[in-house]
Amino acid sequence: MVENNLDENKRSKKRGSKQKHYTPLHSFLTIILLICLIQITISALLNVSKVIAYHKKISTLESKQISAEAKNAELKKEIKNFSTAASLESIARNNLKMAGKDEVLVIVNKKEVPEEEQQKEKHKKIGFKK
């Protein structure tokens, strides 16, 4: 019985005293794991910066869209206003120098003064003599 206890003590000491040895495979796998963690961290940081940049772009595009929609609405109103016959007629009268039925068109032209005379008149007004 005493011998059995001694044998059991030796066995338990052998079991408890086993030291764990790391092989080169464990070191290699640890290095690979660290490289993967570093890669994941860098990717996450880059993705966060891209998300921030995209949110800025989205906000600027939304503001441009709002202003474009406002301008579009304004242009639609102008098209409505100019689509009537009376407004088209007034545009034609002003731009093309046309007259309506039973109307007389009077165009008053101012006499064009050459540039040299204009400069002389300016000098006379200021008081310079040439």
**98 in any annotated domain:** yes
Average pLDDT over every residue of 26-37: 95
pLDDT tens digit string along 45-99? 999 999 999 999 999 999 999 999 999 999 998 888 777 767 777 777 777 777 7
What is the pTM (predicted TM-score) of this model? 0.42
**18 in any annotated domain:** no
**6 in any annotated domain:** no
Concatenate the DSSP letters of all residues of 63-92 into one string: HHHHHHHHHHHHHHHHHHHHTSHHHHHHHH
Full domain range(s) for residue 66: 35-126
Tokens representing residue 82 in the block: 């100019």
Report the domain count for the chain.
1
**118 in any annotated domain:** yes
- Burial 35-54, CB ≥16 within 10 A → b, else e: eeeeeeeeeeeeeeeeeeee
